[in-house]
Amino acid sequence: MYKIGNKVEYLNNVWEVCDCEVDNVEIYNDKLGINIYVPISDVQPYRTAHEKLIEMGWEYKGYGALRHIYEIKHKYDFTENIVIFPNSKSYLASTNRKGHSVVISLNFSRILTQYLDELNETPST
Start-to-end C-alpha separation, the chain: 34
Residue-number span of the structural domain to which 96 is assigned: 49-121
Per-residue pLDDT tens, the chain, 125 aa: give them. Answer: 789 999 999 988 899 999 988 899 999 998 888 999 999 999 999 999 999 999 999 999 987 778 999 999 988 778 999 999 988 889 999 998 887 888 888 989 999 999 998 887 765 54
Query: Total structural domains in the chain?
Result: 2
Q: Are residues 74 and 34 in the same domain?
A: no
Q: Is the pTM of this model over 0.95?
A: no
Q: Are residues 72 and 107 in the same domain?
A: yes
Residue 18 lies in a domain: yes
Residue 96 lies in a domain: yes
Q: Are residues 86 and 107 in the same domain?
A: yes
Residue 2 lies in a domain: no
Phi-psi group of 116: left, alpha or beta (phi > 0 → left; psi -120 to 50 → alpha; rest → beta): alpha
